[in-house]
Amino acid sequence: MKIVIAGLLIKDGLCLIAKRKTEDRLGLGELWEFPGGKLEAGETHEACLQREMLEELQIDVAVGDFFAQSNYEYEFGVIQLFLYWASWRGGAMHLAVHDEIAWVDKEMILNYEFVPADVPIVQELRSWNTWE
């Protein structure tokens, strides 16, 4: 089982999502996700999310409270996904591993096709009254 840590980065009531590259090695290309990545040995969830946001988007984030968890069995193995609230502290966003990003609200997020592990998170996120 792989543990993946991702962030819910909210700005002005909009949530950041990222589109996986077309040539994604896991076969999930062109699907959307909450940015993050695989937990490394000995790493805390918070440190993982900070490292991944820096590697993937070139930004520094402060990791907030735990939001939700999702488990999904892909053909390549089981992913245990943990989502945390995050806030942008610095850096100019630059895409390193994604084709595109979008800032979406509660209604707009339904227009995007997410990787399967993120789908339950989208539903949980939509149930919140405000995204602050």
Does 125 fall in a domain?
A: no
The CATH number given to whatever domain includes residue 111 is 3.90.79.10
pLDDT at 75: 84
Does 126 fall in a domain?
A: no
Reported confidence tier of residue 118, pLDDT bands at 50, 70, 90 = very high
Does 120 fall in a domain?
A: no
Does 123 fall in a domain?
A: no
Spacing of C-alpha 54 from chain mean position: 13
Does 34 fall in a domain?
A: yes
Q: pTM above 0.95?
A: no
- CA-to-CA distance for 128 and 101, rounded, in angstroms? 22
Q: What is the pLDDT of residues 75-107, one digit of tens each?
A: 888 999 999 999 999 999 999 989 999 999 988
Q: What is the pLDDT of residues 23-58, one digit of tens each?
A: 766 556 689 999 999 999 999 999 999 999 999 999
Where helices occur in 13-118 by DSSP H, the ranges are 45-57
Does 77 fall in a domain?
A: yes
Does 27 fall in a domain?
A: yes
How many domains would you assign to the chain? 1
Tokens 């998170």, residue located:
121
Does 7 fall in a domain?
A: yes
Query: Dihedral of CA 112/114/68/85: which sign?
Result: negative
Range of the domain at 96: 2-115
